[in-house]
Structures are given as structure tokens and as C-alpha cells.
Structure 1
Amino acid sequence: MNDTAPPARADRLTLLAPLLLVLSVSMPPLGGGLAKDVSQGHDILALAFLRNAISAAIMLAIVRPSFRNLTGAQWRAAAALGASLAAMNACFYLALARLPLGVAVAIEFLGPLAVAMVGARRVVDYLWPLLALAGVLLLTPLAGAERLDPLGLFFAIVTAVGWAAYILMSRHAGREIPGMTGLALALLFATLFTTPVGLPVSGPYLASFELLGMVVVVAMLSTLLPYALEFVALRRVSTALFGIMMAMEPALSAIVGLFLLNEVLSLSAVAAIALICLAALGSNLTRRDA
């Protein structure tokens, strides 16, 4: 099958690519804000499980992978990717239940920044993670931030570790498994890994058509739509531009938290988020392959 778009359509997509990129970066903060709002009074791990399950069901229906043709190495790669995805999503939601949205998203950015340090040889490559670390320290009791939940900070840091593992496992799975099959299988494994902690407490979501519909929206905003938009946009914009846009996500999350959840941040928290955004931005601008 020839997947080359007609010239006129390709031109339109090229013009729309920056807008698609903005949408793809804006959706996860909205998904996170909506998840925090929907989970009020309910177990947030159930939401993490249902998000994985719905995303997996839709991706498997779209990709329709042939399970018979998968090798043992491919299954192991998908399982490892799914484990990192499950840990990242579950810990992010646990952090979200205890921290402002902008703070939780900012801390998880330590993950990709740490990955960017692997193999670094220039002084500037170490500057950005250290700048982000300074931002995170502003959020700890060491800087007088007593209002932030220590357990929430712990879960946010574990989320960062999970995101770093997800990036590394994605590279491995991308080499082992062609196309979007790897992501579809990873979401399936993420569902299986979160079933023991999420399924037993998911009754209130499953019993309410309204709540279940909101969970579907969370899954679409947090996983499926951003991935689909990135898939189209990244063919027509540079990875450097994508990285620059991604660097704005903590700030966007803080804005969503303010307007959707009425989360007013302290000046130190705003400064911390600004430092982490600057670190992510600088890391992308000074990257050798930017």
C-alpha cells in the first residue's frame, strides 16, 4: 500500500504540523487535570488501570498485531516497555493525588533530562539537568516548601525514573518491533500490570456512565490523541522543535491546574517550574542532533 499523501494534502499537513504539535503537547496537561478532577472521591489507581485498558483496546483494534509472528525477544521488549509505562502512569497519578498538577509534571521531566545526560561529554550537557535539579530542590522542605506532600514528591520522582525507563525501553522496543505494534502491546502489558491494583477498586467508574465517559476522554487526551498527532507532526517538523514544545509542558500544566483545578502555586513553585522548563528547553537547543 502506498501511504504517500497527494501533494496538495501533504502541503496542507505541512502547514498544519506546528498546530498539530501544539495540540499534542497541550493535551496531556488537560488529560492530567481532568484525571485529577474526575478521581476526586475515588481511587486514582483505578483511573490509571482504566486509562491503560481503554488505550490498549483502541490501539489493538487499530493496529491488529499478529501475535503468532512475534518472537520471544519481541514479547520481552513489549513487556519491559509495558512495565515502565505502568509504573510511570500509576506513580504519576499517585503524585497527582497529592501535588499540584504543574509541580507533578515538572518533577517528572527529570526523567528525560537524566536520559539526555547519558553519554554527555560537554559541560553544557550537565548544566541543564543540574538546573532542573535546582528547580526540584525549590519544591522540597529544604527550601521551605512545607505545603507539598513528601509522599507526593516521592511518587513524582519515581514517575521521572519510570519516564526515563520508558524512553530507554521505547528505543529497544522500536528496534525489535515494527510500526505501532510495540506501543499497542506495551499498553496491553501496562493494563495487565496495573490490573491487581486498579481493577478491584474500579467499580465506581464502571457503574457510572458519566464517570466512564470521562475516563475515555482522559485516555484520549493523555495517550491516544497526543501520540497520533505527534506521529503526523513529527514527519513534518524537526525533532528540535518538538523538544522545544515539550519543554513548555510543565508551564502548561501549571496553567491548567490554575484554571481547571484552582491550584494557586507559591512563588517558589512557579520559580521551580520555570527552572525546569528552562532546563528542558536548553537541553533541546544545545543537543548535538538538534
Structure 2
Amino acid sequence: MPVVTSEISRGQSGKGVGLGLALVSAVAFGGSGVAAKPLIEAGLDPLHVVWLPVTGAAVVMLPLAVRHRALLRRRPALLAGFGLLAVAGVQACYFAALSRIPVGVALLIEYLAPALVLGWVRFVQRRPVTRAAAVGVVLAAGGLACVVEVWSGLSFDALGLLLALGAACCQVGYFVMADHGGGDGDGDGAAPDPLGVIAYGLLVGSVLLTVVARPWSMDWAVLAHSANMNGTAVPAAALLVWIVLVATVVAYITGVLSVRRLSPQVAGVVACLEAVIATVLAWVLLGEHLSTPQVVGGAVVLLGAFIAQSSTPAKAPAEPVAAGGAERELSARGTAA
């Protein structure tokens, strides 16, 4: 019995750490728009604002990429997929959608990703999904509709909606691959280091976004001046440092680690808080109006995230463990959980 209690305690502690990391990631990702918008208003193209933090973060993480260069041989598909979907795909599809449909509609469709993650886990991976996780997804999606005020300026554009849905699918890839990277081993019993996966994902994403954004046409002089943040002059370079180090490096590291400690479906619902955090920060720092439906919607998203993170995965049936391998089996199950 003391062993069971110890395992439960460690499991609860790991879940608490995972939830904390997911919240940090949501705050970091949610704060990117507050820093990016003044740069766009100062004269930078939106695609350039996407390319800058990804490339800057890739440079910051370059030493880790060199340290984990063995991943190029062991997990090339994982690295390429993470860079294509989790880094370049989400950003490119989302900003392309913004050029055709309202921001609120694009944001809502992108954050339908938790529901798509739930479908992936249930019907593709054929793993059990708890009722709490499903209820949390429904509440979070409804709350997001209020946060982004989807009814404001709603217009139908087939290509724009498809691009936003593409961003949601890429975000599903982010959660699934983050979980896959921490699951089973690479054949030698070692799971790929998350920092190495993120470093190479950023490098791949930077190369792909370079082709799309064409940074050689960017007005680099904007970064040498100040940007206006709700009447306050802020150095554009300081905003760039924020979106590189916090909104990209910290956001991806804490996000991937949270998925490994929670699960794709639970971490996906907690990630819905990014829209709430982005709205609140825009209200406080940029002076943007926060309406009553947005406040109510934010509360609903919080409720959905709370219900989803309280879910417990179904237990796998017990299997006999060979003599001398009990510690290895217990460690493997803990990693998988």
C-alpha cells in the first residue's frame, strides 16, 4: 500500500507541474500578439513579424541543435513534421486566413484544435477519452466564441475558412507530435530530448517561413525606432526580444513539456486560455475594449480548462512483469502516462 500511495503522489505532482507549464505556455503564446501588433502598426508586414521570432528563436536554440545533432539520424520525420506543422504551418495558415476573414472567426476556428485532438486520440489512436475532457472541450469552444465575439463582422469566405481550419490541423500536429516525442524510445531506450526537437523544429520552420515571408524585402529600419503601445513609446527592438525569448522560446519549451506531463487532449484545452490571455493583455496594455460577452466567455473557457485538466486517463490492464524488470516496467508506464 505505501508503494501505491507514493505512485499516486508522484502522479499528482507530475500533473501539477504539467498544468503549471501549460499555463506558462498559454501566457507566453497569448502575450505574443500584444508585442506583435505595435510592430505591425509601426510598418512591418505581418509575415515578417512571424518570421522574425521564429528565426530569432532558431538562432537562440542553435547550440542545443548542435548538442542534439544525433536526432537528425534518429528522428528525422519528427523534426521535419514539428517544423512544418507546429512552427511554420500554424503561423502561415493563421496569418493567411486573417487576410480573408475576421480575426475573431479565424481565432475561433484555430482553437477548435482541442476538439480535433480529442477526435484524433479517440478514432485514430483508438485510446479512451474521458467524459470530463469532452465536456471541457465543448465549454472551451463555446467560451472562445464569446471571447473573440465571433458574431461581429461574420462573413463567409471558403478559402479563408479552409486556411483557418488548416491552422487548427497544424496545431493538432503540434500537440500530437509533442506527446509522441516523449512516449516510447528511439530503439535505444532513450526518448528524444524536447529541447532538441524544439530547436530543430524552429530551424525547419525558419527555413520554410523564409521562402514565404521573403525577409530581404523587410523594412529593417523599423526595428531601430520606437513603436506605439497605447500612447507609450516602446523600443521596437525590446518588443522583438520579447516575442523571440518569451513568446517563442519559452512558449514552445513549456508547451511541449506540458504535453508530455499531461496529455494532448488536456493540454490542448488548457491552451485555449491563450485567446483569453491575449484578449485581457490587449485590454490592459493596448487599451482595447473588453465587452461583457468577452468577460463571460473567458470565465467559461476557464471552467472548461479546469474540468478537462481534472480528467484522469483510463488505466491500462495490468500485465505480468518479468522477474528483474519491475523497475523498468514501472518507469516505462510512468513515462507513457
For residues 90 and 147 of structure 2, what CA distance do their matches in structure 1 show? 20
Match of 2:34 in 1: 33
* Higher Rg of the two aligned structures: 2
Distance 2:140 2:21 in 1: 27
> What residue number does 2:244 align with?
219
* Structure with more of its chain in helix, by fraction: 1
Aligned to 1:204: 219
Of stretches 52-61 and 19-28 in structure 1, the one that deviates more from structure 2 is 19-28
Q: Describe the shift of the 1:161–1:187 C-alpha distance in structure 2 as closer, same or farther (beyond 3 A).
A: same
Within 5 Å, which residues of 2 pair with 1:75-224? 75-84=76-85, 85-94=87-96, 108-117=110-119, 118-119=121-122, 120-135=128-143, 145-147=151-153, 156-174=164-182, 175-176=185-186, 178-179=192-193, 180-200=195-215, 203-205=218-220, 208-210=223-225, 211-224=236-249
Tell me whether 204-213 or 47-56 shows the greater mean CA deviation: 204-213
Alignment check: 8 A CA contact 1:24 1:226 kept:
yes
Q: What is the match of residue 48 of structure 1?
A: 50
What CA distance in whole angstroms lies between the structure 2 residues aligned with 1:207 and 1:60?
Answer: 26
2:300 corresponding residue in structure 1: 275
| TM-score, normalised by the number of residues in structure 1 | 0.71
Q: Deviations over 1:17-45 (max 9, x none)?
A: 89887655433222221112211232111
Q: Is the CA contact 1:51–1:215 (under 8 Å) kept in the aligned structure 2?
A: yes
| CA positional deviation for 1:192 | 1.1
Whether contact under 8 Å (2:84, 2:204) holds in the other structure is yes
Structure 2: give runs of 5+ residues left out of the alignment: 1-16, 123-127, 226-235, 315-336
Q: Which amino acid aligns with 1:216?
A: V
Could you list the per-position Cα deviations for residues 87-143 of structure 1 after superposition, in whole angstroms to 9, with x for gaps in the alignment? 112334456787668x866654321343145224554443233333434555799x7
Could you report, residue by residue, the CA deviation over 1:30-70 in whole angstroms, capped at 9, with x for unpaired residues?
22211122112321111111211111111112442354673
Cα distance change, pair 159–21 in 1 and its aligned pair in 2 (3 A)? closer
Q: Any unmatched runs of 5+ in structure 1?
A: 1-16
- What is the TM-score of this pair, normalised by structure 2? 0.63
- Asked if 1 retains the 8 angstrom alpha-carbon contact of 2:130 and 2:313, the reply is no
Q: Percent identity?
A: 23
Equivalent residue pairs, number:
266
Structure 1 CA distance for aligned equivalents of residues 146 and 25 of structure 2: 29
